[in-house]
Structure 1
Amino acid sequence: MQYYNHDTYIFLDGEFVKANEAGTDFFGQALHYGYGAFEGLRAYATHNGARIFKAEEHFERLKKSCEAINLPFTWTTRELSESAYELLERNNLRAAYIRPLVFSGSNMHLTSASASHIVIAAWEWGPFLGQNLLNVCISSIRRPDSNAFQIDAKISGQYINAIRATSDAIQQGFDEALMLDQDGFVAQASSENLFIEKDFKLYTPPLDNAFPGITRQTVIAICKELNIDIVEKTLTIEDVLAADSAFLCGTAAGIIGIQRIDNTTYPEDWENTIGSSIQRTYKKLVLEQENYEVII
């Protein structure tokens, strides 16, 4: 996939520059050690124009991710939100995926960064996992241990496990992988949160070893708004395989149903599930077709 061309702008340290003219620091800690933090946002083409869903909430989480690894963060969420909107205008984008990255500069020592840089890129990108129901496998690659990593932050280097899990799943003929935590409980997919439906209730793993996704929190808010019972609890592989239906959610993927996990196919028709109802509500929410002020 081509992410930019000679006309594409990126936002780099306060300026809008051509993507193909931006240089790379080959002595940077981000490149060598994964010392960086990133976010993922989506802009949607609404009747009010291009609208970034929960922009300031995403940039606030980016700030917290940087603070978690002592990476200087010198920008306000408001100015970054405004820069993201200007970036969309400069690239003539109404619907797009937006990727901010804060990264450290030149330093070959294993010490905290004294300064940092920020880049924001945007490109047209459909749903990360497509739009068809997913075939998912249980991965042998586990989530990082919460005692060893700051797993509630989006740190660049931590996504090696996610890349490995997804790559292995695709090589086996699946679309995505579910990852277990260090105790053998189901934590999440490689980069999405998991919900299962059982007996007209939704269940999702707690945040002990799962990432606190903004889309995950939006799903929980939608459930409360629609009076859908939802429970956060540890889930075993047996719980997940015995469910009536299941779905994944994330900014890049949106909300997407699961058809089967390993050799187990879910019995409920997706269109009749709670997940499908939430999917429809979420689409109306991000497209501003309905006013859910409590959720936003």
Structure 2
Amino acid sequence: MVKGTHQAKEDPRNKDVQIFINGTFYAREEARISVFDSGYLVGDGVWEAFRVHKGKLVFIDDHLNRLWQSAKVIGIALPFSKETLIAHVQETLAINGMWDHIHVRVMITRGIKKTPSQDPRLTISGPNLVIIAEHKEAAGESKQEGIRLFTSTYRRGSPDYLDPRLNCHSKLHEVQALIQAIEAGADEALMLDTQGFVATCNATNFFMVKDGEVWTSTGQYCMNGITRGKVLAICEKKGLPCYQKNFSLFDVYGADEAFVTGTFGGLTPVVKIDGKPIGESGAGPLTRQLSNWYEEWIEQEIQA
């Protein structure tokens, strides 16, 4: 089993899920999209992923706002409203009989190209919309034991050539960082910014705890994750000192605790970075407390 923040329990129901593609449902093994699709050809598309608990699309407004912003940034005019997209998601959940512990991924590409090319003017269709919903419950191993990070030599880039806040299909940079980490014997990659300060991880946001203070990066060189934002809001609400600041590996190696945040895994403790132990084994006390508060927030969303 793959260990990391996306480690999930095996669920045999997923082999029979129906996939939504442009208004039609297909069996998982029959779900296809053209080889001339812009996303396949040049990674030209955006995506969003969120959780469904007890029928509730958790923090859906935050996720859709980010999706619409990303589409606008790369010049994709979405031919449907947020309400229509939610209706498509609900239809996907209904046809699959899904209710709890569901992970939904929405993918939008520019459309079908006339010929393989980067040029958006050669797109001959409207945007392609794919919705994949799966029964997906996080495995307890990563939460209980924590994960190991390795600092990749691949840096998070400057926003003047590919803004790290853009949730686009072009994730090869992060894949390279993750491969490097795996080859080094770690579970996921820690990535620095162009100045050498800690930025983020390949698929999650990084936090550290020192002397009762919570630190995370400035947000200029990382995906501004929804869960990251919730942790910042929790710290403010609970009166915990929390800082978005520049800090280096010097600070990280001396951290009392560390954790990463993401939509699927929530808060996942980090126990080693570059082979150096961080705090005690498993999650530290502040990480556990923040994780509990985050889960309480989700429960409030469900009950709202």
TM-score, length of structure 2 as denominator length: 0.86
Aligned equivalent of 1:127 = 138
Q: What is the CA deviation profile of residues 218-247 of structure 1, one whole-angstrom value per residue up to 9, with x for unaligned ones?
A: 111111121111111011111111211110
Q: What is the CA deviation profile of residues 2-30 of structure 1, one whole-angstrom value per residue up to 9, with x for unaligned ones?
A: 8953x422222234443333332111221
Residues 1:140 and 2:148 are matched in the alignment: no
Aligned equivalent of 1:81 = 86
Matched-pair contact (CA < 8 Å) for 1:194–1:249: yes
Residues 1:97 and 2:97 are matched in the alignment: no
Count of matched residue positions in the alignment of Structure 1 and Structure 2 = 286
**Cα distance in 2 for residues equivalent to 1:277 and 1:270:** 13
DSSP 3-state at the match of 1:218: helix
275-284 or 187-196, larger mean C-alpha shift: 275-284
Q: What is the CA deviation profile of residues 47-106 of structure 1, one whole-angstrom value per residue up to 9, with x for unaligned ones?
A: xx3222111221221111111111221222222223222312211222111000001222
Matched-pair contact (CA < 8 Å) for 1:25–1:105: no
CA gap 1:82/1:102 in 2 versus in 1, 3 angstroms? same
CA gap 1:287/1:85 in 2 versus in 1, 3 angstroms? farther
56-65 or 184-193, larger mean C-alpha shift: 56-65
Runs of 4+ in 1 over 4 A off after TM superposition: 1-4, 268-272
DSSP 3-state at the match of 1:194: strand
User: CA RMSD, aligned part only?
Assistant: 2.3
CA gap 1:3/1:31 in 2 versus in 1, 3 angstroms? farther
- CA drift of 1:181 comes to 1.1
**Cα distance in 2 for residues equivalent to 1:258 and 1:89:** 37
Question: Gaps (5+ residues) in structure 2?
Answer: 1-9
**Cα distance in 2 for residues equivalent to 1:144 and 1:126:** 32
Matched-pair contact (CA < 8 Å) for 2:46–2:67: yes
**Cα distance in 2 for residues equivalent to 1:138 and 1:185:** 11
1:217 pairs with 229, 251, 257, which one?
229
Question: Gaps (5+ residues) in structure 1?
Answer: none
CA gap 1:289/1:37 in 2 versus in 1, 3 angstroms? closer
1:66 pairs with 61, 67, 71, which one?
71
**Cα distance in 2 for residues equivalent to 1:228 and 1:9:** 44
**Cα distance in 2 for residues equivalent to 1:100 and 1:17:** 15
- CA drift of 1:213 comes to 0.5
Equivalences for residues 1-296 of structure 1 within 5 A: 4-5=14-15, 7-44=16-53, 49-93=54-98, 94-107=100-113, 108-112=116-120, 115-127=126-138, 130-131=142-143, 132-157=145-170, 159-268=171-280, 272-288=284-300
CA gap 1:156/1:241 in 2 versus in 1, 3 angstroms? same
**Cα distance in 1 for residues equivalent to 2:112 and 2:236:** 47
**Cα distance in 2 for residues equivalent to 1:260 and 1:77:** 41
CA gap 1:121/1:163 in 2 versus in 1, 3 angstroms? same
CA gap 1:289/1:252 in 2 versus in 1, 3 angstroms? closer
Matched-pair contact (CA < 8 Å) for 1:59–1:80: no
DSSP 3-state at the match of 1:40: strand
**Cα distance in 2 for residues equivalent to 1:83 and 1:225:** 35
CA gap 1:96/1:135 in 2 versus in 1, 3 angstroms? same
197-206 or 85-94, larger mean C-alpha shift: 85-94
**Cα distance in 2 for residues equivalent to 1:74 and 1:180:** 37
CA gap 1:130/1:267 in 2 versus in 1, 3 angstroms? closer
CA gap 1:289/1:122 in 2 versus in 1, 3 angstroms? closer
**Cα distance in 2 for residues equivalent to 1:30 and 1:221:** 34
**Cα distance in 1 for residues equivalent to 2:133 and 2:202:** 22
| Matching residue's letter, 1:10 | I
Matched-pair contact (CA < 8 Å) for 2:146–2:283: no
- CA drift of 1:271 comes to 5.0
**Cα distance in 1 for residues equivalent to 2:20 and 2:283:** 41
CA gap 1:55/1:196 in 2 versus in 1, 3 angstroms? same
| Matching residue's letter, 2:268 | I
DSSP 3-state at the match of 1:92: coil
**Cα distance in 1 for residues equivalent to 2:284 and 2:75:** 47
**Cα distance in 1 for residues equivalent to 2:119 and 2:186:** 40
- CA drift of 1:153 comes to 1.2
